[in-house]
Amino acid sequence: MRIYYVFDIKDEYVKLYGDSPNSLYNVLHQLHYLRKKDIDYGFNMFKQLTNKIDNVNIDKNIFLKMHNKMTYVKKSENHIINNLYKDEVSVLKAKRAYILINCNKNYTEFFNILMQENANYFVCDFNNNDYFFLSSIKMLV
């Protein structure tokens, strides 16, 4: 099971870390595992790196793009892909600070949809030390 956190990185940091996403990942990784006593520092740093996500608009856009597909369902705030042909089960939940995707595969169809929304999205899987900008997967798809 993969747990992806998707962050909307500010343009100036995309330019700064575009060639070295490992540095950006290291900063976000440290923020993710920050001790409780340092939470104020971490929150301020997180606000400097990321834009707030328009989760209402993303929810609406995902629903509009996916609602006709047999493999898609929306339950409250969760967008679910259950594609038996590709053996994919993915659940996306958009929040104001990040988008959370739980997936049983290394790649989910949600990446294609999110890439259309914003190519500056930076994806992190902290459990597997995996990270990439969504714009970089254009070459893989």
> What predicted TM-score, i.e. pTM, was given to this entire model?
0.91
* 88 domain residue, yes or no: yes
* 70 domain residue, yes or no: yes
Enclosing H/E stretch for 30: helix 21-32
Task: Please answer whether residues 109 and 81 qualify as being in contact, where contact means their C-beta atoms are separated by less than 8 angstroms.
Answer: yes
Enclosing H/E stretch for 103: strand 99-103
Measured distance CA(117)–CA(69) in Å, rounded: 19
Please list the pLDDT of the chain residue by residue as tens digits (141 residues): 999 999 999 999 999 988 899 999 999 999 999 988 888 989 999 999 999 999 999 999 999 999 999 899 999 999 999 998 889 999 999 999 999 999 999 999 999 999 988 988 999 999 999 999 998 876 444
**Which residue range(s) make up the domain with 79?**
2-8+51-139
Residues 23-55 as b/e (b if ≥16 CB within 10 A, e otherwise) read ebbeebeebeeeeeeeeeebeebbeebbeebeb
* 126 domain residue, yes or no: yes
For the domain that residue 87 is a member of, what is the CATH number? 3.30.310.250
* 122 domain residue, yes or no: yes
Q: Which amino acid, residue 88?
A: E
* 45 domain residue, yes or no: no
The tally of domains found in the chain comes to: 1
